[in-house]
């Protein structure tokens, strides 16, 4: 039974890696669709959401099946429960990618505005945290999970800086109010993606160290 369980857990990991790779791509595409003012790319991200939703449901069902079938305990139980939570975070990141793409689709219908910050850099940072958090899960790498957690502050700082600059632009270019308010939302969506990556990293720490670090100060004790 245990060998079957290990095989099924390995398959679950594969599925999660696949889903996380797909979502990472979507975040990047959504961001690039803004930079390139590419409506077709934005629409592709929006239309691709149902695929991610199906993957989430399949992973969730698979976790429940493993729990019911093998009634695992200890580390296997905790791993499967962690996957269920992480799966949920990933799906929400997928939704945020769609939200960004929707904003992007709107922006392509408006006069072009200059984004007063490096959107691509911020997106790469957020999506990088996401991929690395899944890698940390697969490799049970607590050190990396702590590093990811500490990077969340950088994305927050990015977002604050961006918010402040867009606010200045709002006063200078009231005619661009719609686009600028959308730009604020995009920054916030990217920040929330980094938050989800941080949630995942904290799940990894919990899983490996069997202690709960969420809601705790960011001290690396590993």
In total, the chain counts a number of residues equal to 222
The smaller minimum CB distance to a second copy, of residues 30 and 55, is found at 55
Check: CB of residue 33 under 8 Å from CB of residue 104: yes
10, 73, 114, 217: residue in contact with a second copy (rule CB under 8 A): 73
Give me the 86-115 binding string for a second copy, x by CB under 8 A, dash otherwise.
--x---------------------------
32, 116, 184, 209: residue in contact with a second copy (rule CB under 8 A): 184
* Helical pair 177-209 and 142-172, crossing angle rounded to 10 deg: 170
Check: CB of residue 138 under 8 Å from CB of residue 13: yes
Helix, strand, coil percent content, the chain, rounded in steps of 5: 85, 0, 15
Which region, judged by CB under 8 A, interacts with a second copy, from 20-28, 38-46, 68-76, 106-114?
68-76
CA-based end-to-end distance of the chain: 33
Which region, judged by CB under 8 A, interacts with a second copy, from 30-38, 76-84, 99-107, 128-136?
76-84
Check: CB of residue 151 under 8 Å from CB of residue 125: yes
Could you say whether residue 2 binds a second copy (CB under 8 A)? no
Instruction: Return the biggest CA–CA distance within the chain.
Output: 67
CA gap 188, 171 in Å, rounded: 20
Could you say whether residue 53 binds a second copy (CB under 8 A)? yes
Which region, judged by CB under 8 A, interacts with a second copy, from 60-68, 118-126, 131-139, 154-162?
60-68
Shortest reach from residue 116's CB to a second copy, in Å: 15
Could you say whether residue 75 binds a second copy (CB under 8 A)? no
Shortest reach from residue 107's CB to a second copy, in Å: 16
The set of residues, in sequence order, having a beta carbon less than 8 Å from that of 43 and lying 6+ positions away, is 101, 105
CA gap 188, 159 in Å, rounded: 7
Please report, as ranges, the residues that interact with a second copy according to CB under 8 A: 50, 53-54, 56-57, 60-61, 64, 67-68, 71, 73-74, 77-78, 81, 84-85, 88, 167, 170-171, 174, 177-178, 181, 184, 212, 214-215
């Amino acid at each position: 039974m245990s060998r079957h369980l290990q095989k099924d857990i390995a398959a679950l990991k594969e599925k999660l890696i696949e889903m996380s790779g797909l979502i990472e791509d979507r975040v990047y595409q959504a961001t690039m669709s803004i930079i390139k003012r590419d409506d077709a790319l934005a629409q592709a991200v929006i239309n691709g959401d149902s695929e991610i939703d199906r993957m989430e449901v399949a992973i969730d069902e698979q976790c429940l099946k493993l729990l019911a079938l093998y009634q695992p305990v200890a580390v296997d139980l905790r791993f499967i429960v962690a996957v269920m939570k992480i799966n949920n975070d990933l799906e929400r990141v997928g939704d945020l990618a769609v939200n960004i793409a929707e904003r992007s689709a709107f922006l392509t219908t408006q006069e072009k505005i200059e984004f007063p910050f490096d959107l691509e850099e911020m997106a790469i940072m957020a999506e990088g945290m996401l991929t690395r958090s899944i890698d940390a899960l697969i490799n049970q790498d607590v050190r990396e999970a702590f590093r990811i957690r500490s990077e969340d502050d950088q994305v927050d700082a990015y977002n604050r800086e961006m918010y402040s600059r867009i606010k200045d632009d709002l006063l200078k270019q009231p005619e661009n109010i719609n686009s600028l308010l959308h730009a604020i939302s995009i920054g916030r969506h990217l920040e929330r993606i980094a938050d989800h990556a941080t949630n995942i990293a904290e799940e990894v720490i919990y899983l490996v160290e069997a202690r709960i670090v969420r809601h705790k100060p960011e001290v690396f004790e590993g």
